[in-house]
Homo-oligomer: A and B are copies of this chain.
Amino acid sequence: MSKNKTEGGITYPTGFRATGLYSGVKKNGNPDMALIVSDADCVAAGVFTTNQVKAPAVRLSQRRVRGKGLRAIVVNSGNANACNGEQGERDALSISEKLSLHLGCDTKKILLASTGVIGRPLDMEKIVAALPRLVATATREGYEDCARGIMTTDTKSKSAQAEGLVEGRTVRVGGIAKGVGMIHPQMATLLVFLTTDAAVEKEALRMILSQASDRTFNALTVDGDTSTNDTAIILANGQAGNLPVAKNRESFRELFSLVLSVCESLRDQLVRDGEGVTKVIRIIVGGARTKNDARKVAQSISRSLLVKTAFFGEDVNWGRIMVAIGNSGVRVYEERIDIFMGEVALVHRGVGLGALQEEKALEVMKKKEITLRVMLGIGPMEAEYWTTDLSVDYVKINAGYKGRT
């Protein structure tokens, strides 16, 4: 175990190496492959797309993540290898088989992820040729290259790290993510990879990843409204030497809070890098009967094209917010609804508070980060959701996406 001063990201925890490079798949010459390797066998957990159309990489990782002694994650970007039939299945298998030879480990210890255009066969020649280079260049310093290697239309790489005590031992968590255009209700791929040197039991790790995802990445994209390739994986290699984290131990909460803080940082970076995003909107819905009700109302607001374009246009059109609340499928009472833009009260008991308040709200809407708060006046529960405005650039970017990879 080297004790070098790693700055962060996916190799921040002890015992992980990483890299990213250009294999020749992307037309624009940007890095299009990445590798994360652990020096020691890992416990792993994963959260995968709920889309019924799944890329072979997802199906393969979904199976393998249940196994033991995982060692590496290999990612290719620019081509999702989805909807490629049996050829796609064979190619995914072949990548991990060939990589396992270079890594000198069992092929089942390798997880895969892909992101990019759907329905194009992988250029296997280029990808296979890049595998030995990936293995050769994976270092503790490679975290930034790795973060770049998984990007598609992202304008910035996304890394985060955290360090803290778990049962008295210093534990580190690192992570990278990619995904713009993944802001609900869109469906471009979200990839998240996390590493930790904590020792942790498999079931505890699964719960930690699942709960942290729910509070961050799943509050951006709706369950069931995901791409063919969405993947979040965490590898834990136990190198910190702590007593293994388990469900019923205090250490569960300690490790969870470290993982959550990394996920929150990645969530913030993702939302700020949304395609054509000019504004980030944090939607808080309170006063709901249940948390699920609050969440549904927040989702409905975040989904509304009319709300999203109004934010882009800095138009204090709270009627559109009322419409979205009324369409959420949750029982609401118009005459109990309050709406706040930032700290400015806009609607009280279902009725607008007038031009002066709207002028104040307009000042809030001119900012780049806006908190919209809706109080339903029914119960005690609250949920938070993140969305963005819908801009002219969003349409321009997505109207010509395929030609740009």
Q: Which residues on A are within 8 Å of B, measured CB to CB?
A: 51-54, 80, 82-85, 117-120, 181, 185-188, 224-228, 303-306, 309-310, 312-313, 315-320, 322-327, 329, 331-332, 334-335, 347, 349-352, 390-392, 394-396, 398-403
- Tell me, in angstroms, the Cα distance from A317 to B82 when the chains sit together: 13
Given A85-B351, A319-B82, verify A326-B51 contact (CB < 8 Å): yes
- Besides A82-B319, A181-B306, A395-B395, 14 other CB < 8 A contacts? A52-B331, A84-B352, A85-B350, A118-B319, A119-B352, A187-B306, A188-B306, A224-B327, A228-B326, A312-B395, A313-B400, A315-B401, A392-B399, A394-B395
Question: Quick check: B315 and A399 within 8 Å, CB to CB?
Answer: yes
**Chain B positions within 8 Å of A120 at CB level:** 352
Question: Quick check: B323 and A53 within 8 Å, CB to CB?
Answer: yes
Query: Which of A318, A334, A349 has the most C-beta atoms of chain B within 10 angstroms of its own C-beta?
Result: A334
**Chain B positions within 8 Å of A305 at CB level:** 185-186, 305, 398
Q: List 10 A-B contacts (CB under 8 A).
A: A53-B326, A83-B322, A85-B350, A119-B351, A185-B303, A185-B304, A313-B398, A315-B403, A391-B395, A395-B395
Question: Quick check: B327 and A51 within 8 Å, CB to CB?
Answer: yes
**Chain B positions within 8 Å of A331 at CB level:** 52
- Tell me, in angstroms, the Cα distance from A119 to B316 when the chains sit together: 11
Residue of chain B at shortest CB distance from A337: B53
Question: Quick check: B52 and A332 within 8 Å, CB to CB?
Answer: yes
Question: Quick check: A327 and B394 within 8 Å, CB to CB?
Answer: no
Question: Quick check: B309 and A398 within 8 Å, CB to CB?
Answer: yes
Given A83-B322, A117-B319, A119-B322, verify A224-B329 contact (CB < 8 Å): yes
Residue of chain B at shortest CB distance from A324: B187
**Chain B positions within 8 Å of A225 at CB level:** 327
Residue of chain B at shortest CB distance from A118: B319
CB distance from A118 to the nearest CB of B (A): 2
- Tell me, in angstroms, the Cα distance from A332 to B317 when the chains sit together: 39
- Tell me, in angstroms, the Cα distance from A227 to B327 when the chains sit together: 8
Residue of chain B at shortest CB distance from A328: B52
